Amino acid sequence: MIKIGTLISVIFVCWSVFFSALAGGLVVKDQSIDLPSLKNPMQYSLYLPDGYCEENLSYPILYLLHGYGGSHRDWLNGGSVVKTLDRLIANGLISPLIVVMPSASKSWYVNSSKHGQFETALLLEFPKLLEANLHSLKVREGRAIAGLSMGGYGALRFAFRSPEKFGSVAALSPAIFPNVVGKDAFKPVQLKLFAGAFDEPFSSDKYNERNVFTLAKTISNPPAIYLTVGDDDWFGLYAGTFSFYQHLKSQKIPVELRVTDGNHNWKLWSREIERVLIFLNEQLSPAIQRSLVFKDMDQDVAVETIINNNKSTLCFR
């Protein structure tokens, strides 16, 4: 059952217990929602740009995915993404946007008996419910997805699985590998990190079926793609990233690749997310300009509701 009250609370909460007011945007932290495909409520956080409630605008939306064993707090804490967003927006380097950070634990963003139906939940159910109540652009060109490590795999997979939903995708140090013949193709540590997402014992057939290398062979309308990885990545993920870059080139699919100085850590990701946001902004800009010309002139409505025993005024369409 969907908790509509909880869903609405993330849109704009004019109550200090629900958000942190920063120099620029607002952060709605530690929200949860019941989704039909998941047994337990899924947690997430939101970044809402400055003026979100006051201005009659629709904003592009970015789904930003965490890495293996992470959570909806990772990009806020380890990545300091709010400071980066506020600075880039204030300096006019990117347009204001909504950023959604869901929590998916060790699921690899796929459906599995071990972790649950995270692909269905995050690709189909969550965006539909959330965007119905957000001031977001409801078009492919106004929607982007990005992630790091396991989240890089998830972002690429979602974008290639449903290219009609995402106009652009970025993967930072993505945990991607070419298709394999059997489990012996992976080191024991990597099999352990798959954590049962591709069956236990590991199924190479299931992995290959879901692999982005496989999806890239049949995609007809690919999103804009940005790949970045550190040259000292201690998992050696530069190998899979470069292989995927070559794979896309062989399919004549446009792609940007950046190999930068750094390892598999937040020092690299907190730096590279700036370049990612600027790239994604370039892809989102046409949709933003169209929305400014044809923006909906309907007035926002204020609704009072009781959430967690606190009365809050919410601003939503």
CATH number of the domain where residue 210 is located: 3.40.50.1820
**Residue range 267-273: average pLDDT?**
98
For residues 148 and 69, the answer to whether their CB atoms sit within 8 Å is no
**Residue range 210-214: average pLDDT?**
98
Q: CA angle 217-223-225, nearest 5°? A: 90
Would you place residue 61 in the very low, low, confident or very high pLDDT band (cuts 50, 70, 90)?
very high
For residues 148 and 263, the answer to whether their CB atoms sit within 8 Å is no
Buried b (16+ CB within 10 A) or exposed e, 126-162: bbebbbebbbbbeebbbbbbbbbbbbbbbbbbbbbbb
Structure tokens at 144: 């982007």
- pLDDT in the model for residue 293: 58
Share of the chain above pLDDT 90, in %: 79
Give the other-Cβ count within 10 Å of 173's Cβ. Answer: 30
- pLDDT in the model for residue 224: 98
Q: How far apart are CA 6 and CA 1, in angstroms?
A: 12
Would you place residue 9 in the very low, low, confident or very high pLDDT band (cuts 50, 70, 90)?
very low
Q: How far apart are CA 177 and CA 198, in angstroms?
A: 14
Total tally of structural domains belonging to the chain: 1
* pLDDT exceeds 50 at position 42: yes
Domain range spanning residue 26? 4-316
- pLDDT in the model for residue 35: 97
Q: How far apart are CA 230 and CA 259, in angstroms?
A: 6
**pLDDT tens digits along 145-187:** 999 999 999 999 999 999 999 999 999 999 999 999 987 889 8
Strands (E), 22-60: 26-33, 42-48
- pLDDT in the model for residue 315: 53
* pLDDT exceeds 90 at position 236: yes
* pLDDT exceeds 90 at position 54: no
- pLDDT in the model for residue 277: 98
pTM of the model: 0.89
- pLDDT in the model for residue 182: 82
For residues 147 and 234, the answer to whether their CB atoms sit within 8 Å is no
For residues 316 and 300, the answer to whether their CB atoms sit within 8 Å is yes
For residues 234 and 177, the answer to whether their CB atoms sit within 8 Å is no
**Residue range 286-312: average pLDDT?**
48
**Residue range 59-68: average pLDDT?**
98
Structure tokens at 27: 């952060």
* pLDDT exceeds 60 at position 207: yes
